[in-house]
């Protein structure tokens, strides 16, 4: 059983997976991973150098990972400005915020250019507060964006916020037009089609089982191998399992989602009629949006943590937090309280220490590149990741290859079992803190202190 978005996309598409690799093949570039990062990289490489022989291998089918099951919220890095400034300085932080907004528009331009119907809607985003404790949480970063001439947000009157968001739960809100929503699996499957159209050689159901560095490098698969001058590892959450040196660079945590049956009449009634994405100001945020066929999708991150970077069976099952999400759905939208849920699902996201992805080179040959750590917010930034990795592969000298984003991991989690136990300790403190705030109570001091460990890296898992 595939997650809802991917099953919907596959039903619309028809066709069969590309054949797995049998035997050995030679390529200029081998990309490992058929999600957003790998496919954007492949497409950009072929657009810039059509003669380049690019092979892409995918362990399952393209979009089977996070790219086919996320919330479909294409957001910029505006809300991460303080983290960007702290790590990289003001000039690079400003550049990255601008580039992240440009990527939102570039995804739409790609869909138009190649006739990819990904249900792309450039209808903006609302950052909101759903209790008094959250009010004002966004003011500081908005002021910093304004000081640096990169602010796209405007504070809206409460009546407008509740109308645009379709819910009276919101107590304040900032709106930015620089955001979009997509059907995520339609986007990744569209990228797959374009990659094939541009001449990328794609092998699905072809896992990497070994990597021998060198010039050329050798990528081993169950029934074959690829010899390639350059390699791109675009495996995201699976990197921590495949390469022990990255085990402490990310924590694997779930984001869980529910989606209703279509009720376009109720959407009209509550006023949630655009493709706006809506997020509250929790640390592990609620995020939601509607779909063109009249559904509401609601998700929440930070639920299941994996020990030691393992891929748990639950990541490919209906969400164990479905009841909690269903309750939240009813609180946001009383009119939808009795609307049946069409599907629930979850999936692993690669949460980095900073909440930002990182990129770099592996090995002494300098010809194996990687990028991951999108921390549950990859729909828009994966387009930037494609630009970074394509630039590295092509040996370009540009703002991407000079960015400190290409310097590898920007921090490490403690070793196990401290990481796992600490993650649960912080998660449970966040839950108690936010439950108290929802009821208008002052949270315990210890819970507030523990929650700061997660808040320092920014809010998590928005799609």
pLDDT, position 353: 94
pLDDT, position 361: 97
pLDDT, position 423: 92
Helix 381-393 / helix 36-48 crossing angle, nearest 10 deg? 50
Report the alpha-carbon distance of residue 434 to residue 430 in Å, rounded: 6
b/e per residue 409-433 (b: at least 16 CB within 10 A): bbeebeeeeebbebbeebbebbbbb
Q: What is the per-residue pLDDT across 85-111, written as a single tens digit (0 to 9) for each?
A: 999 999 999 999 999 999 999 999 999
On the question of pLDDT at 293 being above 90, the answer is: yes
On the question of pLDDT at 457 being above 60, the answer is: no
Q: Look at strands 224-233 and 23-32 and give their pairing.
A: parallel
On the question of pLDDT at 460 being above 50, the answer is: no
Report the alpha-carbon distance of residue 377 to residue 355 in Å, rounded: 9
pLDDT, position 363: 83
Residues in Cβ contact with 22 at an 8 Å cutoff, skipping those fewer than 6 apart:
223, 224
Report the alpha-carbon distance of residue 363 to residue 411 in Å, rounded: 20
Choose among 52, 358, 355: nearest CA to 200: 52
For residues 330-350, average pLDDT? 96
pLDDT, position 3: 96
- Note whether 333 and 296 are within 8 A (CB): yes
For residues 440-444, average pLDDT? 95
For residues 290-316, average pLDDT? 93
Please report the beta strands in 316-367, taking only residues with DSSP state E, as ranges in sequence order.
341-352, 358-362
Q: Say how many Å lie between the first and final Cα of the chain, rounded.
A: 21
Domains and CATH numbers, the chain: 4-406 (3.50.50.60), 418-455 (no CATH)
For residues 74-80, average pLDDT? 97
On the question of pLDDT at 458 being above 60, the answer is: no
Report the alpha-carbon distance of residue 272 to residue 329 in Å, rounded: 14
Q: What is the per-residue pLDDT across 148-163, written as a single tens digit (0 to 9) for each?
A: 999 999 999 999 999 9
At residue 462's C-alpha, the angle toward residues 235 and 154, to 5°, is 135
The two structure tokens encoding residue 263: 């009720």
Report the alpha-carbon distance of residue 106 to residue 102 in Å, rounded: 6
Q: What is the per-residue pLDDT across 113-148, written as a single tens digit (0 to 9) for each?
A: 999 999 999 999 999 999 999 999 999 999 999 999
pLDDT, position 15: 87
User: pLDDT tier at 220 (50, 70, 90 boundaries)?
Assistant: very high
Choose among 181, 134, 126: nearest CA to 155: 126
Alpha carbon 99 to chain centroid, angstroms: 16
Q: What is the per-residue pLDDT across 250-262, written as a single tens digit (0 to 9) for each?
A: 999 999 999 999 9
Which alpha helices (H) appear in 148-260, and where do they start and end?
158-165, 184-197, 239-242
Report the alpha-carbon distance of residue 209 to residue 26 in Å, rounded: 17
On average, the pLDDT of the chain sits at 95
Alpha carbon 460 to chain centroid, angstroms: 10
pLDDT, position 463: 58
Instruction: Give the predicted TM-score (pTM) of the model.
Output: 0.96
pLDDT, position 308: 87
pLDDT, position 284: 87
Choose among 252, 222, 253, 254: nearest CA to 240: 252
On the question of pLDDT at 168 being above 70, the answer is: yes
Q: Is 89 exposed, middle or buried (0-12, 13-18, 19+ CB in 10 A)?
A: exposed
On the question of pLDDT at 461 being above 60, the answer is: no
Does the N-terminal peptide bond of residue 417 adopt cis geometry, omega within 30 degrees of 0? yes
pLDDT, position 1: 81
For residues 392-409, average pLDDT? 98
Helix 4-13 / helix 184-197 crossing angle, nearest 10 deg? 40
- Note whether 212 and 220 are within 8 A (CB): yes
For residues 206-210, average pLDDT? 98
**Range of lowest pLDDT (190-199, 203-212, 304-313, 379-388):** 304-313
Q: What is the per-residue pLDDT across 341-381, written as a single tens digit (0 to 9) for each?
A: 999 999 999 999 999 999 999 988 899 999 999 999 999 99
């Amino acid at each position: 059983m595939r997650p809802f978005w991917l099953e919907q996309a596959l039903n619309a598409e028809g066709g069969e997976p590309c054949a797995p690799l049998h035997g050995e093949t030679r390529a200029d570039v081998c990309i490992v991973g058929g999600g957003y990062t790998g496919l954007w990289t492949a497409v950009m490489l072929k657009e810039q150098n059509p003669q380049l022989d690019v092979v892409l291998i995918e362990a399952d089918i393209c979009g089977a990972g996070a790219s086919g099951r996320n919330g479909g919220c294409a957001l910029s890095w505006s809300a991460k400005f303080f983290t960007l400034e702290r790590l990289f300085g003001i000039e690079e932080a400003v550049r990255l915020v601008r580039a992240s907004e440009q990527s939102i528009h570039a995804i739409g331009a790609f869909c138009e250019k190649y006739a990819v119907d990904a249900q792309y809607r450039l209808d903006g985003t609302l950052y909101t507060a759903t209790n008094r404790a959250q009010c004002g949480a966004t003011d500081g970063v908005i002021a910093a964006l304004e000081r640096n001439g990169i602010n796209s947000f405007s504070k809206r009157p409460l009546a407008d916020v509740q109308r645009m968001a379709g819910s009276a739960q919101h107590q304040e809100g900032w709106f930015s037009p620089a955001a979009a929503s997509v059907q995520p699996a339609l986007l990744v499957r569209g990228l797959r089609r374009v990659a094939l159209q541009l001449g990328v050689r794609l092998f699905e159901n072809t896992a990497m089982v070994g990597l021998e560095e060198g010039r050329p490098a050798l990528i081993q698969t169950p029934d074959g191998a690829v010899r390639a001058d350059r390699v791109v590892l675009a495996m995201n959450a699976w990197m921590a399992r495949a390469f022990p040196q990255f085990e402490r660079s990310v924590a694997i945590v779930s984001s869980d989602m529910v989606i209703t049956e279509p009720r376009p009449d109720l959407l009209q009634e509550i006023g949630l009629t655009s493709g706006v994405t809506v997020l509250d100001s929790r640390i592990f945020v609620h995020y939601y949006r509607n779909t063109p066929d009249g559904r509401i999708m609601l998700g929440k991150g930070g639920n299941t943590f994996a020990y030691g970077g393992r891929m748990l069976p639950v990541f490919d099952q209906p969400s164990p937090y479905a009841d909690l999400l269903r309750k939240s759905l009813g609180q946001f939208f009383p009119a939808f309280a009795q609307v049946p849920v069409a599907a629930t699902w979850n999936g692993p996201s690669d949460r980095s220490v900073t909440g930002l992805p990182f990129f770099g080179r592996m090995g002494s040959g300098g010809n194996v590149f990687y990028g991951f750590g999108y921390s549950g917010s990859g729909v828009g930034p994966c387009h930037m990741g494609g630009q970074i990795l394509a630039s590295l592969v092509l040996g370009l000298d540009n703002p991407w290859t000079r960015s400190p984003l290409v310097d590898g991991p920007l921090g490490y989690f403690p070793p196990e079992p401290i990481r796992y136990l600490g993650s649960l300790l912080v998660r449970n403190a966040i839950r108690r803190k936010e439950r108290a705030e929802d009821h208008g109570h002052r949270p315990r001091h210890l819970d507030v202190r523990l929650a700061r460990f997660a808040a320092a890296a920014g809010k998590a898992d928005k799609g």
